[in-house]
Structure 1
């Protein structure tokens, strides 16, 4: 049976220009009591008022980061638990036919064939429980230890599918109850007739938004990542809270998220703004070179690469050196040019 569903996770070629070691910052350590749900706090209800059916899920202690109806009509909510750094993404999709358990299974099988899962370990598709799940762990990312656990789940009722995605970096076996406690509260049900009275939500801060953006970026969801990254940037513009290292990471990743989602003018402008503030930081120049390459601008790409390698000593602490331009998909279009190849040879041969 061919699925009637939109593809929430289209297959993409994994392409990254330059990321910082601080992209992999660990979660804060917490005690068991801090992870316990607060009493009398109602669950979050994710729905469209006009469609009548929604998803009830207990996200006590989480902060909403993205809450939107996408252009294709799917309803999406992304939230972060600031203490545990557990990310939850929920997508509701209305289909023209009856939503079925088989449709859920087909969606999970499709995700399993994707590049993210194929590159992971400990892959398991579980169809015996009340809610079918697909899980895997990404132990490394670009040579850095990550141990990022992913669990996908799906629920079907009437003509609505609910896709749930849980993820957490630096995962250990002690985190398993956190994942299961969220899934145990998932219910598709009619929208409440009256709005649930809940305390006013505390908006996420720039560091929390950066964490969510990083999680989306690692899944190649570049367009989605720009939303929390841009919110973090706006907060930092109004009232800076991040230290210099994290601010650099934010500019790096927001600029490249714009570039890799095809929003080249925004990516270029953001990286140029970063250079104005911190002109000696090499990855701003390197990622600007990537952006110029995506714009097929050879001369400016070469100029930015030269500047990047001239400032190579100014990387953030923990970075293992400048990235190799030969390994960036963005620059492959220029490798047929002798002048570009000679430049890369010269830059990578120089150690200081």
Structure 2
């Protein structure tokens, strides 16, 4: 969330601007992730077409995890690289005043004072480079070794701010080029064919502000816990991902902060992490809590069916699959079709059963 000075009256601007936001991810890897490539492919371009201004970033080889417009109007993209485990989050925001480098720096300073950064090591705020950045390494979380590298970057041009967050668990110095390659590719530009960096106007000197003693940092919020859990989850560290995901889930029940799409991802990933570590009772309870709060979201029912299949409960598996496909029109934006149960491993144990086989064949025929 942008600081209050940058957020004032911003939502009114979003009403007319967010409808045409879009992201494009190239299908083939480029940059450091492409080996032996013969032809250059353009980077990912994030834009408001009517403004002719967007964000260019090299996300070659990444998998798009989330692509949506937040309830407050900001455009949000989350992507992960399946080989390296690098996570990228991009947020575009329009403000009613001139965006500035100082606004970026103020935002990074707020993050630096946050509950995770204040507990981290190797904290470095760089305000002298072309792009202001904040980086730190969180070596432990609740006694668990995670070695999560975090880099925040911010760009400002006209009335647009672009916030980028890169993170990776089990970070080593050998991973540093991954972060630098992404950061070097980032630019706000007027269109895909215009790749020249637009120089920001020099900012006026500001008077030093008096030092204000701040209270001890608060515990991590649900979004920070969600990000940590996701970083572990995409690295298949399911047992480690359970702790921050469960803490985020508990916080959301008491004080909801995540939007609906992220909340759904939290529930599904937490339940799946429990299932992947053999904790089927907890997985079932997680999905059932999700269904109680959001009964028509089909993926909760589908994931519950997977859990019942792992429990070797054929009747409940079929009941949950039937319910999932009955609500198939209620997928998240960007989720085009239901999964195919014939291809998912939990259901393979039942495929020799003719009744079940005919049942899933009928479901697959109507999955879209």
- Which TM-score bucket, shorter chain as reference? 0.5 to 0.7
In the TM superposition, residue 104 of structure 1 has moved relative to its aligned partner by: 0.2
User: Which residue, 255, 267, 288 being the options, matches 2:286?
Assistant: 255
Residue 176 of structure 1 aligns with which residue?
176
Contact between 1:209 and 1:232, CA under 8 Å: does it hold in 2? no
Q: Which residue in 1 is equivalent to 2:366?
A: none
Which residue number in structure 1 is paired with residue 325 of structure 2? none
Match of 1:265 among 259, 277, 293: 293
Would the alpha carbon gap of residues 36 and 74 (structure 1) be closer, same or farther in structure 2, given more than 3 Å must change?
farther
Question: What residue in structure 2 maps to residue 48 of structure 1?
Answer: 48
**Contact 1:229-1:254 within 8 A present in 2 as well:** no
Residue 97 of structure 1 aligns to a residue whose secondary structure is: coil
| Stretches of structure 2 lacking an aligned partner (at least 5 in a row) | 9-30, 195-229, 249-256, 313-368
Q: Secondary structure, in 3 states, of the residue corresponding to 2:234?
A: helix
Counterpart in the other structure of 1:101: 101
> Cα–Cα, structure 1 residues 44 and 130, in superposed 2: closer, same or farther, change >3 Å?
same
Q: Which residue number in structure 1 is paired with residue 5 of structure 2?
A: 3
Q: In the aligned structure 2, how far is the partner of 1:138 from the partner of 1:275? A: 33
The equivalent residue for 2:276 is 245
Aligned partner of residue 116 in structure 2, secondary structure: helix
**1:35/1:84 contact within 8 Å kept:** no
Cα offset, 1:226, TM superposition: 3.8
Alignment of 1:125 with 2:148, yes or no, is no
**2:234 maps to which of 200, 211, 234:** 211
Check the 8 A contact 2:270/2:286 in 1, yes or no. no
Question: For 1:314-325, what aligned pairs fall within 5 Å after superposition?
Answer: none
Tell me if structure 2 keeps the 8 A contact 1:121–1:138: yes
Query: What is the DSSP-based 3-state SS (H/G/I as helix, E as strand, rest coil) of the residue aligned with 2:7?
Result: coil
Task: Report the Cα distance in structure 2 between the residues aligned to 1:42 and 1:148, rounded to whole angstroms.
Answer: 29
Q: Distance in 1 between matches of 2:4 and 2:135?
A: 23
Structure 2 CA distance for partners of 1:247 and 1:127, relative to 1, 3 Å: farther
Greater relative contact order (CA < 8 Å, ≥ 6 in sequence): 1
Correspondence for 1:349? none
Equivalent residue, structure 2, for 1:76: 76
Q: Is the 8 A contact 2:283 2:307 kept in 1?
A: no
**In the alignment, which residue of structure 1 is the partner of 2:153?**
153
Once the two structures are superposed, residues 328-349 of structure 1 have per-residue CA deviations (whole angstroms, 9 ceiling, x without a partner) of xxxxxxxxxxxxxxxxxxxxxx
1:247 CA drift (Å): 7.5
TM-score w.r.t. structure 2 length?
0.52
User: Hey, what's the Cα distance between the residues in 1 that align with 2:159 and 2:191?
Assistant: 14
How much is the aligned-residue C-alpha RMSD, in angstroms?
4.5
**1:122-181 alpha-carbon deviations (Å, 9 max, x no partner):** 211111111111111111122211000000000000000000000000000011111011
Q: Any runs of at least 4 consecutive aligned residues in structure 1 with deviations exceeding 6 A, and if so which?
A: 230-234, 269-275
Q: How many positions carry a matched residue from both structures?
A: 232
C-alpha distance in 1 between matches for 2:267 and 2:247: 18
CA deviations on 1:21-40 (whole Å, 9 max, x unpaired) are: xxxxxxxxxxx985769552
Question: Partners in 1 of 2:5 and 2:61 — Cα distance?
Answer: 35
Cα pair distance change 1:46/1:96, threshold 3 Å:
same
Q: CA deviation at 1:115?
A: 1.3
Can you list the C-alpha shifts for 1:190-218, whole angstroms capped at 9, x where unaligned? 23489xxxxxxxxxxxx999528959959
- Most deviating of 109-118 and 91-100: 109-118
Shift of 1:97: 0.5
8 Å CA contact 2:245, 2:270 repeated in 1: no
* 1:110 Cα deviation after fit: 1.1
Instruction: Report if the CA contact (8 A) 2:137-2:149 is conserved.
Output: yes
How many angstroms apart in 2 are the aligned matches of 1:74 and 1:192?
21
Alignment partners' CA distance in 1, 2:114 and 2:231: 28
1:292-331 superposed matches below 5 A = none
Q: 1 CA distance for matches of 2:139 and 2:284? A: 21
State the distance in 1 between where 2:187 and 2:34 align. 21
